[in-house]
A and B are shown apart, each in its own frame.
Chain A
Amino acid sequence: MIKVMSVVPSVESTPDPRELFVIYNRADRIFRRIVTSGALTSLILLGLIGTFLFVRSAQIFNDRGLKFITGSNWTAGSGDGVIPDDFSIGPMLTGTILVSVIALIIAMPLAIGGALYIEFYAASRLRKLLSTMLDLAAAIPSLIFGLWGVVLFTSFGERWSILLNSRFGWVPFIKVQAEVFGRSPFVAGCVLASLITPIITSVSREVFSRTPRDLIDTCYALGSTRWGAIKTVVLPFGRSGVIGGAMLGLGRALGETVAVYLLLNIVFRYNFRILESEGGNIASLIALKFGEATEYELKALVAAGFVLFLLTLVVNMFAATIVEKSTRRK
């Protein structure tokens, strides 16, 4: 006789879901272990970079404490103790931030304009060409930007500086003391701006192109102009992606070495007048002093590198979080 199974659901409660097990055999386990350890190298490497830089420079942080950050001198001692070593990165740290912020302020509107142009204004054939060239431009080595800056851009930069100084000289941070205009944070900032513009443009274009087409169509169906559609749909949609791209650009500008080295008069003094022919950043300090550094000075340079590492790491983690978030929702 056939036993009829109960069709009445059990009254007590719905059952807990069963736990499902995946059993990997030995080969699989070995494979997974190898792959996992391979993937962890980047993690370990990042840890190692931080650790080694810190360990090698611990003496400096120990000797000088907070003064390493806030002080304003970089003087190698005479060795016999007559002139003491005095290493601190204050002016270079502020210089790093100053130059990068100038670059970012210049680059942002250009990058957003460029990205909007490629996505929404250029004819389709031009769009393909431009976006390919843009990817290539983002890969131009910064050294070549430096060369271009030194040989070709500086004369423009100087002329703009003179103009700015004569018209806006009353603004505190634009006024200059000496009438020398080359190799200033402004000029270096302009070249850094052209260096990071392709990167920010590329990221922005990418997020703009992900705007759902039917939202844009809806704007047009409501009688909107192109700009109306961009303002209503594209910019809000792409905002976090653009911010992420800006952060990436900022990170790049903060850590830039050769372009700044070639374009800025590296002087150890706090300088916030953007047209003054003096400044510097941490990376160019390292490149400048590395060659003839004493052993103790080398440690100070490593310490400077550690500070730069932390600075860019924070900016980049921020950027990574934003970019990850904005590209995940599709």
Chain B
Amino acid sequence: MSTVVIEPQSQSLAPQPTMPWKPTRKTQFSGIFSVVVVAIVSLAIVLLTGLAGIDGFGLTFLAVFLGVTVARTARQNPKVRKDSMVGVAICAAAVLAFFPWMSIFLSVILKGARGLQPNFLIENMQLTTPDDELNMGGAAHAIIGSMMMVVIAAVITLPLGILSGVYLTEIRGRLTFLVRFVVQSMSGVPSIVAGLFIYTTFVNFTNSFSGMAGSLALAVLMLPTVARTAEEVMKLVPDDLRSASYALGARQWRTSLMVVLPTVRSGLTTAAILGIARVIGETAPLLLTSLSNNSYVFNPMGGPIGSLPTYIFGLLQIGTENSINRAWTGSLVLMILVLVLFLTARYFGGKDKR
């Protein structure tokens, strides 16, 4: 019989999708169980021997786990054994790589939350010493100063960054490679060098430290980020769109300004926001340009001005319990700002992609 009969199977017999390659409940359970056992054994070892702390525990855990893996795969093909052991090593490396920043996220939240009271957001430090209780004084002046400086920096940088992007994607002139290369290299200029540069120029010429000087230093650091992001989003504009515009007889400047730029409006917002997120926590350049201040300054040219990073930095140098707690709270506010900026950037970044 060489025929094939195709009969749709009846509903009751309809097969269910299965994933036979996935670990079964049982193996999953035994996996979790062995991890727990290894953890208990390691804990016992840590308690019985002189090892101490979470690092000692981690090390013991890894050693025991590796031992168990070796034992379990002893009778397997050497390639399988190697794969399991490398797997354990990679997971361990990943845990170590992620541990610091997870610990930072967590400690900033836990330690910072205590001082995050209304006064922190609406008062300044004019009448409060860093040693005072946490329910006195605040960082309003620093938050305002930081905001002011990053906004000015963004206003300066955004047009330049967009022009860079337009040059790299629309004009594509002879210097394309050079411009891209310089932007890349510039993103690595140490922040203190940017501060020093503005100090030797703007601060020396105007003869005063100021918020404006701080903004300029931040702008130097922001430019590469904005330019690169702008280029990236404009590269996403399909060439068909440009061709369509040219085919209608439009000139290049009209094509760029009226076809390309409007389609990436949200992308450019992302560029600006990412630039701000990149510099809002910069401390070093501000130490050389805007210094710090304990009370409100609203004039960018009105002498030294407070900012969140310099506020935290100053508190850290005092180093008493309350000042350190204030520093954690300042860091929490800073992290929240970065997070909000990131989420906004993501929101706008997702918008252009149709």
Residues on A facing B (Cβ under 8 Å):
24-25, 27-28, 30-32, 34-43, 45-46, 48-49, 52-53, 56, 109-114, 116-118, 121, 130, 133, 135-137, 139-148, 150-153, 156, 159-160, 194, 197-198, 201, 224-228, 248, 251-252, 254-258, 262, 283, 286-287, 290, 301-302, 305, 308-309, 312-313, 315-317, 319-321, 323-324
Closest A-B pairs by Cβ, 4 of them: A141-B281, A113-B93, A255-B190, A38-B163
B46 contacts partner chain A, Cβ-Cβ < 8 Å: no
Interface string of B257-296 (1 = CB under 8 A from A): 1000000000000000000011011111001100000000
B80 / chain A contacts, CB cutoff of 8 Å: 225
- Cβ B94 vs Cβ A53 within 8 A: no
Beta-carbon nearest neighbor of B288 in chain A: A290
Contact residue among A53, A113, A146, A147 (Cβ-Cβ distance under 8 Å from B328): A147
- Cβ A38 vs Cβ B164 within 8 A: yes
Output the least CB separation between A191 and chain B (Å): 8
Q: Is the interface of A mostly helix, strand, loop or mixed?
A: helix
5 A-B residue pairs with CB within 8 Å: A136-B338, A254-B190, A257-B190, A309-B190, A312-B193
Tell which of B84-92, B126-134, B236-244 binds the partner. B84-92
B354 contacts partner chain A, Cβ-Cβ < 8 Å: no
Output the least CB separation between B168 and chain A (Å): 7
B8 contacts partner chain A, Cβ-Cβ < 8 Å: no
| Given A113-B94, A309-B189, A312-B189, 4 additional A-B pairs, CB 8 A | A151-B107, A255-B189, A283-B192, A316-B189
Tell which of B25-33, B115-123, B298-306, B308-316 binds the partner. B308-316
Contact residue among B97, B170, B201 (Cβ-Cβ distance under 8 Å from A52): B201
Residues on B facing A (Cβ under 8 Å):
52-53, 55, 79-80, 82-83, 86-87, 89-94, 96-98, 100-101, 103-105, 107-108, 111, 159-160, 162-164, 166-168, 170-171, 173, 175, 178-194, 196-197, 200-201, 220, 223-224, 227, 251-253, 256-257, 277-278, 280-284, 287-288, 309, 312-313, 316, 324, 327-328, 331, 334-335, 338-339, 342
- Cβ A41 vs Cβ B192 within 8 A: no
Question: Given A226-B87, A255-B191, does the pair A32, B334 have CB atoms closer than 8 Å?
Answer: no
- Cβ A143 vs Cβ B283 within 8 A: yes
CA distance A255 to B187 in the complex (A): 12
- Cβ A52 vs Cβ B200 within 8 A: yes
CA distance A156 to B100 in the complex (A): 12
Contact residue among B96, B220, B253 (Cβ-Cβ distance under 8 Å from A45): B220
Beta-carbon nearest neighbor of B220 in chain A: A45
- Cβ A257 vs Cβ B164 within 8 A: no
CA distance A319 to B224 in the complex (A): 15
Question: Given A36-B173, A324-B180, does the pair A130, B98 have CB atoms closer than 8 Å?
Answer: yes
B223 / chain A contacts, CB cutoff of 8 Å: 41-42, 45
CA distance A225 to B227 in the complex (A): 42
- Cβ A42 vs Cβ B83 within 8 A: no
- Cβ B160 vs Cβ A38 within 8 A: yes
Output the least CB separation between A245 and chain B (Å): 12
Question: Given A135-B342, A313-B185, does the pair A197, B97 have CB atoms closer than 8 Å?
Answer: yes
B283 / chain A contacts, CB cutoff of 8 Å: 141-143, 257-258
Output the least CB separation between B316 and chain A (Å): 6
Question: Given A45-B220, A146-B316, A317-B185, does the pair A287, B192 have CB atoms closer than 8 Å?
Answer: yes
Question: Given A42-B179, A116-B90, does the pair A316, B281 have CB atoms closer than 8 Å?
Answer: no
Contact residue among A56, A197, A201, A255 (Cβ-Cβ distance under 8 Å from B193): A255
- Cβ A145 vs Cβ B104 within 8 A: yes
- Cβ A43 vs Cβ B182 within 8 A: yes
A39 / chain B contacts, CB cutoff of 8 Å: 163-164, 166-168, 171, 175, 179
Contact residue among B101, B181, B191, B281 (Cβ-Cβ distance under 8 Å from A194): B101
- Cβ A34 vs Cβ B163 within 8 A: yes
B281 / chain A contacts, CB cutoff of 8 Å: 140-144
Question: Given A36-B173, A113-B89, A198-B101, does the pair A305, B193 have CB atoms closer than 8 Å?
Answer: yes
- Cβ B334 vs Cβ A144 within 8 A: yes
- Cβ A147 vs Cβ B316 within 8 A: yes
CA distance A77 to B260 in the complex (A): 60
- Cβ B284 vs Cβ A24 within 8 A: no
Beta-carbon nearest neighbor of B111 in chain A: A151
CA distance A287 to B313 in the complex (A): 12
B188 / chain A contacts, CB cutoff of 8 Å: 248, 251-252, 255, 312-313, 315-316, 319-320
